[in-house]
């Protein structure tokens, strides 16, 4: 998943399909004494878990139309191009990948999440037990919106399409694993212009079986298969660029109309069989998306409950979030909680080589001030770990044992009373300026002398992603593509990922011990890997402190009073439309 | 007259050409690669190169500019192989963000912008000019003072604030009106007008302030002229003197301002469109600029320029029609 930008770039770039495990099954592995791992019962579900129908939502009933308000139209609905959480959440109504996440609402209000088979009967078979060959068998009775059967060859064709340069906007995981190369389409460029309909490394056996063979182990394949890359596309229905507006349905809803930039209407797909689907419902008769409503208008319309059948993926207008947060009546009609994103202060370890200075920054930083300047509690919870609480195996710890507001005196002691001069770069926005001033003032109490450098907000990530940048620390966000440390720690803290430009490891952290540990964990089955990532998280923070975790990004949005079944999906970090119904 | 028109049209074409060159050049001056926004995380150089090749971003800038302009006049082809697409003239390219034809985006945004602009313009002229003229004719009265005060308030009022007040009063507070949602005039004229009444009022009441202040000042100046006194001395009715003689002489600066105001409104009333959640040309321009969506930026800039240039020509022609002293040649 992408870094999260301060403004609209987030909407376009932040990818999704992250999960979160939220059942709080305390299972102390003895690795730490100030926290426990919060894992789900079982990260990966069974064939039994993959069977439909999905358990009814409490009070769920059929009928009516739910209207979603949204600023911009979905840039993409083509399964080869979808990579943004709200696009995925909507696409989830229209088509089905090989695997998916089953979120079960528990009586205590928490959510249990498991990866289950969606089109496949289970989350995949690790044929050689070394994660190099993955086999998926399709369920019986799967049909498209025209009643024709869904075949394994259509999934292969869908994956093949993702190799096309025209589909570069989508995730690249499976293509890169199949090609065994980051430059995945240097030779095979998809099924167009005479290219093979089945990509290299994929084999189809009859109508039901599809196998992926990789050169190296990829134990995360069941999670990558939950991305829309594995959704079926029948070759005869491939309308190329037009497919991006009206994809062919294999899910509970099909597109009745889609007027770009104006509105989209989904109606029931009568050929979808709930007994084949373990996660989706088909409560409303239809969904209507209305585009063009900005965050202020959306907030006001939902706040006044103008139409009680309305919902949105958008957050609450930041200017009104504090007031809405403290209004009990409105809070009842809201979803709130952590998403997969985490905000960090990245310390440029190429320049700040003294680990005690990095630790002192962690100790002195006033995270409450940062939270307040970002809109208070709705902006997110104070963070202390690299991994978000939505990650499997997440372990709550604080490597420095300081209060959220920091401890400047303790930091001063660590610095030996000397003054340390550092440069802080920030995106030049009103909020960015306020945060910069606060950081300068707060860190001065610990003896830091901070020089502030404003950077053009549009170029901010290019600047901090440049290995040769001249700044000592700066803020960025990151969210994982699936709920494992493998999509957080390697992309952001593995020194081998560092290039001259466009770095996500913007702390430029390159440590031999950590790299060895990453290699070891990557070869483990995911269930074993999950707590190991959390241990590595703790080790990195305790021994090397390359970042200061600031906030676990918060989602906070409203919905109409007649909407039932709303919860914050740990998969997408927004409301899950597939569970919604109208109460009356 | 004919020579004047030809000259002005040639000048307009030159202006459009200059603006298109500047807009195209500015896009290339931005140190960001559009391929980055079109390619997901982990994008490799091969894929980026393929995107560059597909969009011809590696061609020299003058070649790209020439191809773009050629597309407008004779159309062009995009992509290659199975993904080849025709883009008939006037081709404005394809959106970098959504890959849809920019012409389609313009076709759905323009009616919204035109609806807002024309309605707001009519309202602002009706309210502004009428108030200004009557304030001048009744100088010193309560009406005059009220008109002056209100126009001062209007001139000082930011449109985002006034539009928000109207929304709170008529939509969220009282529910008298539903939240504005665009309906094409061809589909339901009443619903169309209902959707635009608040945007019209927001813009009109604020812009009317300028017309009323200018109208009043011009009328007062004209009313003190000798020819008005002469007309009155000849025994003409007061209303005839005011409307036929004074207003006609005072109208030229008002027409200038009205023409330019319409041109500006047609270029896109960004803030108004934003507050009322309408995806007009203004909103499209802002979003496109933020996303480095160059084909859409070019299209919206060119269209806004056309409106302003044409408004200027119309103003000049209207001058001659209204004031015989103006010689177009």
C-beta atoms of A185 and B46 within 8 A? yes
Assess contact for A245 and A225: CB atoms under 8 A. Answer: no
C-beta atoms of A458 and B32 within 8 A? yes
> In this model, does residue B314 exceed pLDDT 90?
no
Q: How confident is the model at residue A462 (pLDDT cuts 50, 70, 90)?
A: confident
Supply the ipTM of this predicted assembly. Answer: 0.83
Assess contact for A261 and A73: CB atoms under 8 A. Answer: yes
Beta strands in chain B (DSSP E): 76-78, 85-87
> In this model, does residue A5 exceed pLDDT 60?
no
Rounded-to-integer distance, Cα B329 and Cα B315, Å: 15
Q: Give the mean pLDDT of A406-432.
A: 94
Q: Give the mean pLDDT of A368-378.
A: 92
From A169, A163, A225, A167, select the one nearest A197 (Cα to Cα).
Answer: A163
> In this model, does residue B5 exceed pLDDT 80?
yes
CB neighbours of B229 closer than 8 A, spacing ≥ 6? none
C-beta atoms of B291 and A182 within 8 A? no
Assess contact for A84 and A16: CB atoms under 8 A. Answer: yes
CB neighbours of B237 closer than 8 A, spacing ≥ 6? none
Higher-pLDDT residue of B23, A231: A231
Q: What was the pLDDT predicted at B31?
A: 64
**Distance of residue B108 Cα from the nearest chain A Cα, in angstroms:** 8
Q: What was the pLDDT predicted at B327?
A: 61
Per mean pLDDT, which range of A494-498, A516-520, B54-58 is the poorest?
A: B54-58
Q: What was the pLDDT predicted at B174?
A: 87
C-beta atoms of A172 and B43 within 8 A? yes
Nearest to B51 among A75, A168, A294 (CB): A168
**Distance of residue A570 Cα from the nearest chain B Cα, in angstroms:** 21
The average confidence (pLDDT) of chain B is: 86
Rounded-to-integer distance, Cα B304 and Cα A9, Å: 26
User: What residues pair up with A449 in beta bridges, in sequence order?
Assistant: A421
**Distance of residue B47 Cα from the nearest chain A Cα, in angstroms:** 6
Helices within A162-239 (DSSP H only): 173-179, 221-224
> In this model, does residue A97 exceed pLDDT 90?
yes
**Distance of residue B300 Cα from the nearest chain A Cα, in angstroms:** 16
From A336, A310, A309, select the one nearest A321 (Cα to Cα).
Answer: A336
Per mean pLDDT, which range of A53-67, A413-427, B218-232 is the poorest?
A: B218-232
B195-248 pLDDT per residue, tens: 999 999 999 988 898 889 888 998 888 888 888 888 888 888 887 888 778 887
The average confidence (pLDDT) of chain A is: 90
Nearest to A165 among B32, B54, B278 (CB): B54
Rounded-to-integer distance, Cα A576 and Cα A93, Å: 10
Q: Residue A426: in which H helix or E strand, if any?
A: strand A420-427
Rounded-to-integer distance, Cα B94 and Cα A505, Å: 34
**Distance of residue B265 Cα from the nearest chain A Cα, in angstroms:** 19
> In this model, does residue A12 exceed pLDDT 70?
no
CA distances to A53, A257, B74, B105 from A262, rounded to whole Å, are 34, 11, 29, 10
Q: Give the mean pLDDT of A455-473.
A: 90
Chain A residue with minimal CA distance to B99? Answer: A241
C-beta atoms of A166 and B104 within 8 A? no
Nearest to B81 among A15, A192, A259 (CB): A192
> In this model, does residue B41 exceed pLDDT 80?
no
Chain A residue with minimal CA distance to B80? Answer: A193
C-beta atoms of B85 and A168 within 8 A? no
Rounded-to-integer distance, Cα B78 and Cα B73, Å: 15
From B160, B182, B163, B185, select the one nearest B172 (Cα to Cα).
Answer: B163
Chain B residue with minimal CA distance to A191? Answer: B82
Instruction: Collect all residues of chain A within an 8 Å Cβ-Cβ radius of residue B276.
Output: 297
> In this model, does residue A429 exceed pLDDT 60?
yes
DSSP A491-530: HHH-GGG--SSS-S-TT----HHHHHHHHHHHTS-HHHHH
Q: What is the CA radius of gyration of chain B?
A: 24
Q: What was the pLDDT predicted at A545?
A: 98
CB neighbours of A514 closer than 8 A, spacing ≥ 6? A493, A494, A495, A536, A539, A540, A544
> In this model, does residue A384 exceed pLDDT 90?
yes
Rounded-to-integer distance, Cα A7 and Cα A457, Å: 9
Q: How confident is the model at residue A212 (pLDDT cuts 50, 70, 90)?
A: very high
Whose tokens are 């001139």? That residue is: B155
> In this model, does residue B34 exceed pLDDT 90?
no
Instruction: Collect all residues of chain B within an 8 Å Cβ-Cβ radius of residue A176.
Output: 42
B108-160 pLDDT per residue, tens: 999 999 999 999 999 999 999 999 988 988 888 999 998 888 888 888 888 88
Q: What was the pLDDT predicted at B326?
A: 64
Nearest to B82 among A192, A298, A300 (CB): A192
Instruction: Collect all residues of chain B within an 8 Å Cβ-Cβ radius of residue A12.
Output: 37, 97, 291
Q: Give the mean pLDDT of A94-122.
A: 92
Rounded-to-integer distance, Cα A476 and Cα A502, Å: 13
> In this model, does residue B328 exceed pLDDT 70?
no
Instruction: Collect all residues of chain B within an 8 Å Cβ-Cβ radius of residue A2.
Output: 40-41
């Amino acid at each position: 998943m992408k870094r999260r930008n301060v403004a609209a770039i987030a909407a376009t770039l932040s990818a999704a399909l992250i999960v979160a495990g939220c059942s709080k099954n305390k299972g102390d592995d003895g690795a730490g004494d100030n926290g426990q791992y919060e894992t789900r019962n079982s990260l990966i579900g069974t064939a039994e878990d993959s069977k439909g129908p999905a358990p009814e939502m409490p009070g769920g009933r059929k009928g009516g139309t739910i209207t979603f308000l949204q600023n911009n139209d979905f840039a993409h609905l083509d399964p080869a191009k979808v990579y943004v959480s709200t696009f995925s959440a909507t696409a989830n109504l229209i088509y089905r990948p090989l695997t998916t996440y089953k979120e079960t609402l528990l009586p205590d209000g928490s959510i249990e999440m498991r990866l289950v088979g969606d089109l496949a009967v289970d989350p995949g078979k690790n044929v050689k037990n070394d994660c190099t060959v993955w086999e998926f068998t399709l369920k019986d009775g799967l049909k498209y919106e025209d009643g024709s059967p869904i075949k394994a060859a259509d999934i292969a064709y869908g994956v093949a399409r993702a190799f096309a340069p025209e589909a570069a906007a989508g995730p690249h995981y499976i293509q890169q694993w199949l090609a065994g190369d980051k430059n995945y389409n240097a030779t095979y460029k998809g099924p167009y212009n005479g290219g093979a309909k089945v990509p290299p490394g994929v084999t189809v056996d009859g109508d039901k079986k599809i196998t992926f063979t990789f050169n190296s182990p990829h134990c995360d394949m069941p999670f990558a298969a939950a991305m829309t890359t594995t959704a079926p596309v029948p070759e005869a229905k491939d309308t190329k660029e037009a497919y991006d507006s009206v994809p062919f349905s294999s899910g509970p809803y099909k597109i009745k109309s889609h007027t770009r930039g104006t509105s989209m209407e989904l109606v029931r797909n009568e050929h979808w069989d709930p007994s084949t689907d373990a996660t989706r419902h088909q409560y409303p008769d239809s969904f209507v998306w209305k585009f063009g409503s900005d965050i202020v208008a959306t907030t006001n319309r939902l706040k006044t409950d103008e139409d009680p059948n309305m919902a949105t993926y958008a957050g609450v207008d930041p200017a009104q979030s504090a007031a809405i947060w403290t209004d009990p009546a409105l809070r009842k009609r809201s979803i709130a909680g952590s998403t997969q994103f985490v905000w960090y202060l990245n310390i440029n370890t190429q320049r700040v080589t003294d680990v005690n200075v990095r630790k002192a920054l962690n100790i002195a930083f006033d995270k409450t001030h940062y939270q307040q300047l970002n809109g208070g509690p709705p902006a997110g919870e104070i963070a202390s770990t690299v991994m978000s609480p939505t990650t499997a195996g997440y372990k709550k710890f604080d490597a420095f044992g300081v209060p959220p507001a920091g401890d400047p005196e303790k930091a001063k002691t660590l610095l030996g009373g000397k003054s340390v001069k550092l440069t802080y770069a920030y995106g030049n926005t009103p909020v960015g300026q306020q945060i910069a001033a606060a950081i300068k003032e707060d860190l001065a109490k610990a003896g830091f002398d901070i020089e502030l450098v404003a950077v053009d907000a549009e170029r901010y990530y290019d600047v901090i992603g440049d290995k040769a940048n001249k700044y000592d620390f700066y803020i960025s966000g990151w969210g994982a593509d699936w709920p494992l440390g493998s999509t957080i720690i390697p992309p952001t803290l593995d020194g081998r990922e560092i290039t001259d430009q466009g770095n996500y490891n913007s702390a430029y952290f390159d440590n031999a011990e950590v790299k060895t540990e990453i290699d070891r964990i990557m070869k483990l089955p995911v269930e074993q890997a999950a707590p190991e990532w959390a241990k590595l998280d703790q080790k990195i923070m305790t021994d090397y402190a390359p970042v200061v975790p600031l906030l676990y990004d918060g989602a906070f949005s409203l919905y109409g009073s007649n909407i039932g079944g709303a919860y914050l999906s740990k998969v997408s970090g927004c409301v899950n439309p597939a569970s919604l119904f109208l109460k009356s | 007259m004919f020579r004047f028109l030809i000259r002005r049209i040639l000048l307009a074409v030159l202006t459009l050409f200059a603006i298109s060159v500047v807009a195209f050049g500015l896009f290339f001056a931005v140190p960001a690669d559009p391929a980055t926004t079109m390619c997901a995380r982990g994008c490799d150089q091969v894929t980026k190169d393929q995107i560059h090749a597909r969009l011809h971003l590696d061609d020299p800038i003058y070649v790209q500019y020439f191809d773009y302009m050629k597309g407008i006049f004779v159309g062009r082809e995009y992509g290659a192989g199975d993904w080849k697409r025709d883009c008939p003239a006037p081709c404005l390219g394809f959106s970098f963000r959504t890959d849809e034809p920019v012409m389609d985006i313009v076709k759905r945004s323009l009616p919204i912008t035109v609806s807002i602009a024309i309605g707001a313009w009519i309202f602002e002229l009706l309210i502004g000019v009428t108030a200004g003229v009557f304030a001048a004719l009744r100088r010193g009265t309560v009406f005059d003072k009220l008109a002056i005060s209100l126009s001062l308030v209007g001139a000082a009022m930011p449109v985002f604030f006034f539009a928000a007040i109207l929304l709170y009063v008529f939509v969220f507070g009282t529910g008298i009106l539903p939240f504005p949602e665009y309906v094409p005039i061809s589909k339901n004229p009443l619903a169309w007008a209902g959707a635009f009444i608040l945007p019209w009022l927001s813009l009109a009441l604020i812009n009317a302030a300028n017309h009323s202040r200018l109208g009043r000042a011009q009328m007062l100046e004209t009313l003190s002229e000798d020819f008005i006194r002469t007309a009155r001395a000849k025994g003409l009715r007061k209303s005839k003197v005011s409307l036929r003689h004074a207003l006609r002489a005072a109208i030229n600066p008002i027409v200038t301002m009205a023409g330019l105001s319409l041109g500006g409104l047609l270029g896109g009333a960004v803030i108004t469109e934003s507050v009322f959640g309408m995806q007009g040309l203004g909103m499209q321009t802002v979003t496109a600029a933020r996303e480095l969506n160059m084909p859409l930026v070019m299209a919206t800039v060119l269209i806004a320029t056309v409106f302003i240039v044409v408004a200027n020509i119309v103003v000049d022609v209207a001058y001659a029609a209204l004031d015989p002293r103006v010689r177009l040649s």
